[in-house]
Structure 1
């Protein structure tokens, strides 16, 4: 049973997340030959103040116009 874990910054719509889940499932099915019903996709969202790049949070980078 393949398990794909994806971590994203929060802010996608439910429709975007559903499309991601479907398309990742299809990619795993095609590449590994796994039946779709055996593929698990877990999407975790992180708030910008909890995601760090180069020691600064994405929230700080955005506020400074760097992202």
Structure 2
């Protein structure tokens, strides 16, 4: 059973997360010839305060 973990910075609308899950599932099913009902996609949204870029929290970087 394929398990795909995706970590994203918070802030995307729920419909985008749903679309991502569908598209990743489709891609993995096609590439691995795996039934879709056996594929798991886990999406974790990380707060900008917990996401570091170059040693700085993303929450402190303008336009992030």
- Computed over aligned residues only, the root mean square deviation of the Cα atoms, in angstroms, reads 1.0
Question: What TM-score, normalized by structure 2, do the two folds share?
Answer: 0.94
* Structure 1 ranges of 4+ moved more than 6 A: none
Number of matched pairs: 64
Partners of 1:4 and 1:45 in 2: CA distance: 14
2:26 corresponding residue in structure 1: 26
Gaps of 5+ in 1: none
Question: What TM-score, normalized by structure 1, do the two folds share?
Answer: 0.90
